[in-house]
Amino acid sequence: MKFSILSKGDKKSNDIRSKIKNYLTEFDLDYDEDEPDLSISVGGDGTLLEAFHTYSHRLDKTAFIGIHTGHLGFYADWMPDELEKLIIEIARTPFQVVEYPLLEVTIWPQDEGEEDRYLALNECTIKTSEGSVVFDVEIKGEHFETFRGDGLCVSTPSGSTAYNKALGGAIIHPSLESIQIAEMASINNRVFRTIGSPLILPSHHTCLLKPIYDRSFLITMDHITRTYKDVKSIQCQVAQQKVRFARFRPFPFWKRVHDSFVADDRE
């Protein structure tokens, strides 16, 4: 089995990285940053998001696991004091995996140029630095509303506890193949109207955003931000691909939600 390790870069994470690398190499596992079967991240959820985007072109071959060093650890749910146990589990391959749905984002330019396609583990947000965003929102090919406001956030089920949660979106179990659209400060008055509630779409529905004015947009996919000018449309849907997390012990989603947001009483 081949593995790679991504560290957040602080001393504690780097020390853990060296320790895992040494132990796993002693167990005859190969370190391979290009084609790992298992990507181990050490830091926090941000580090795991980075690992995900590093290997998003080979999600059928690379599984993920994360150790948190003083960060929230929603995805990165192993603690440094469990390291020995985790190393032994990894060395005892093969491992089980759990699969979570992802978001696919396609951005078409106004000219005849090629579209850009991305996968997101948490969410895509569409904002602007030029006033408010104004776009027509189509759901499953039908006009739904004209949105004016700070922006929209389209999240995956496992990303529903991240940015989406701060916007008043619901927390969705990852067994529900869906995406959630949450508003960021929509303008609502006699003239302008949006639904005002988060929407949850099933896997066979798409959401298409068509900008009305030529503005430049700030489009984020997880921790990555891109600036786009001359956008014709942005499409969001549940991706065909899934992310695979290596699972060495049961840690159910609702327990993870409880420990991250209510109280951590794992002792």
**Angle at alpha carbon of residue 50, lines to 226 and 71, rounded to 5°:** 115
Is 73 a binding residue for Mn ion by CB under 5 A? The answer is no
Residue number, 73 or 169, with CB nearest to Mn ion: 73
Residue number, 216 or 260, with CB nearest to ligand NAP: 260
154 sits in which H/E element? strand 142-155
Show the site string, 164-203: x = touches ligand NAP by CB under 6 A, - = not: --x-------------------------------------
Q: How far apart are CA 8 and CA 55, in angstroms?
A: 16
Q: Is the Cβ–Cβ distance between 76 and 64 less than 8 Å?
A: no
Is 223 a binding residue for Mn ion by CB under 5 A? The answer is no
* Catalytic residue status for 45: yes
- Sequence-distant (6+) residues with CB within 8 A of 59 are 102, 119, 241, 242, 243, 244
Q: How far apart are CA 22 and CA 31, in angstroms?
A: 10
Q: Is the Cβ–Cβ distance between 216 and 229 less than 8 Å?
A: yes
Per CB under 6 A, the list member of 4, 36, 45, 100 interacting with ligand NAP is 45
Is 163 a binding residue for ligand NAP by CB under 6 A? The answer is yes
Q: Which stretch binds ligand NAP (CB under 6 A): 33-41, 64-72, 142-150, 198-206?
A: 64-72
Residues at the interface with ligand NAP (CB under 6 A): 44-46, 49, 68, 71-75, 122-123, 158-159, 161-163, 166, 222-223
Residues at the interface with Mn ion (CB under 5 A): 44, 46
Catalytic residue set: 45
